[in-house]
């Protein structure tokens, strides 16, 4: 399997998040290249990818080896190591990469503070340089900085064969749905003419459905707000009561059912605050319904 691509592995020491961003002229690159485990590290394995480098690398990191030591251990037992390319970062932000001499040109990597960028069959070395610069100057969440690196790499020429698939994987402790695992963000575009743009669209949806609210998105649950929500729920067919702003079991059930149906259940709260993203989503649905009627 020749997974010819450009990727970045990175760590955010402040949040504890670890992640991989990858793009390739290869079907479903997210099924082969990115690997990560919370509090351990992240691995990108590519170029005639040896997928055992993913779980094997994470296991060695968990045993206390540095990324450099992990790479040396992985390639030392691989007779095809000169065809391999791998980037690794650990939970301390230490990073390392390896590019075999037989990787198809342009092939190479850049290792920096908290990240490693690597690629093969690229337009030029400017691809990884642009990725490294974009990630280093980024100031947003780790996922957003990984996306910025992919955008920059593509703008610099990307995979010289073109585009096909991309993936974004970010892990953190209890970051998965419901807090049951570490898979905070796991988005893949398996086959698309503009995969990075599509990945950005999916990321925006992920933020809508699963990201915790920003402080300004939490507002007091007043009677006036409840009245507005009741009106919207009536328009959407979820609520049969009056839009009087008064709390009731019927209203609570209607709001619960709406959020459950629209995959917004993680935005519901048990305090006196309301996540206004629910309100905005309702308004958008009602506007679309009225526009189509």
Tokens of 79: 């007779």
Residue 69 in this model has a pLDDT that exceeds 90: yes
The pLDDT of residue 289: 82
In angstroms, rounded to a whole number, what is the distance separating the alpha carbons of residues 103 and 105? 6
In angstroms, rounded to a whole number, what is the distance separating the alpha carbons of residues 81 and 103? 10
- C-alpha distances out from residue 121 to 23, 28, 85, 155, 216, Å: 12, 17, 12, 15, 45
Q: Are 245 and 226 in contact (CB under 8 A)?
A: yes
In angstroms, rounded to a whole number, what is the distance separating the alpha carbons of residues 60 and 183? 20
Tokens of 116: 């490693």
Query: Using one digit for the tens of pLDDT, what is the confidence trace for 118-167?
Result: 999 999 999 999 999 999 999 899 999 999 999 999 999 999 999 999 99
Determine the longest span between alpha carbons in the chain, in angstroms: 73
Tokens of 135: 């990630």
Q: Are 148 and 138 in contact (CB under 8 A)?
A: yes
CATH of segment(s) 5-210: 3.60.20.10
Which residues share a beta bridge with 2?
A: none
> pTM of this prediction?
0.87
Q: Residue 174, Cβ neighbours under 10 Å: how many?
A: 11
- C-alpha distances out from residue 114 to 90, 151, 287, Å: 8, 19, 44
Q: Are 23 and 62 in contact (CB under 8 A)?
A: no
* Domain range summary for the chain, segments of one domain joined by +: 5-210, 215-292
Residue 4 in this model has a pLDDT that exceeds 70: no
pLDDT band at 191 (very low <50, low <70, confident <90, very high): very high
Q: Which candidate, 199, 204, 167, places its Cα nearest to that of 183?
A: 167
| Phi-psi group of 72: left, alpha or beta (phi > 0 → left; psi -120 to 50 → alpha; rest → beta) | alpha
Cis geometry, peptide bond prior to residue 106 (ω within 30 degrees of 0): yes
Residue 5 in this model has a pLDDT that exceeds 70: yes
Q: Are 89 and 110 in contact (CB under 8 A)?
A: no
The pLDDT of residue 290: 79
The pLDDT of residue 178: 86
Q: Are 149 and 156 in contact (CB under 8 A)?
A: no
């Amino acid at each position: 399997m020749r997974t010819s691509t450009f990727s970045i592995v990175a760590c955010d020491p402040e949040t504890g998040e670890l992640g991989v961003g990858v793009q390739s002229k290869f079907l479903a690159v997210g099924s082969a290249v990115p690997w990560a485990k919370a509090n351990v590290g992240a691995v990108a394995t590519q170029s005639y990818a040896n997928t055992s480098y993913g779980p094997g690398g994470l296991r060695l990191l968990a045993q206390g080896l540095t990324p450099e030591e992990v790479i040396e251990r992985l390639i030392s037992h691989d007779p095809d190591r000169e065809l391999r390319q791998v980037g690794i970062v650990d939970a301390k932000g230490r990073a390392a990469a390896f590019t075999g001499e037989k990787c198809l040109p342009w092939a190479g990597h850049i290792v920096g503070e908290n990240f490693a960028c690597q690629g093969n069959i690229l337009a030029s070395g400017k691809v990884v340089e642009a990725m490294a610069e974009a990630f280093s100057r980024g100031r947003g969440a780790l996922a957003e900085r990984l996306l910025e690196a992919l955008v920059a790499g593509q703008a610099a020429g990307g995979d010289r064969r073109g585009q096909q698939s991309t993936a974004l994987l970010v892990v953190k402790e209890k970051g998965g749905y419901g807090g049951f695992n570490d898979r905070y963000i796991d988005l893949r575009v398996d086959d698309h003419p503009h995969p990075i743009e599509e990945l950005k669209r999916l990321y925006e949806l992920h933020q809508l459905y699963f990201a915790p609210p920003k402080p300004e998105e939490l507002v007091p649950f007043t009677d006036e707000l409840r009245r507005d929500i009741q009106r919207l729920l009536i328009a959407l067919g979820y609520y049969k009561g009056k839009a009087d702003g008064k709390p009731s079991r019927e209203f609570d059930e209607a709001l619960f059912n709406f959020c459950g149906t629209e995959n917004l259940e993680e935005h519901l709260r048990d305090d006196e605050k309301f996540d206004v993203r629910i309100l905005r989503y309702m308004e958008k649905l009602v506007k679309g319904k009225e526009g189509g009627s």
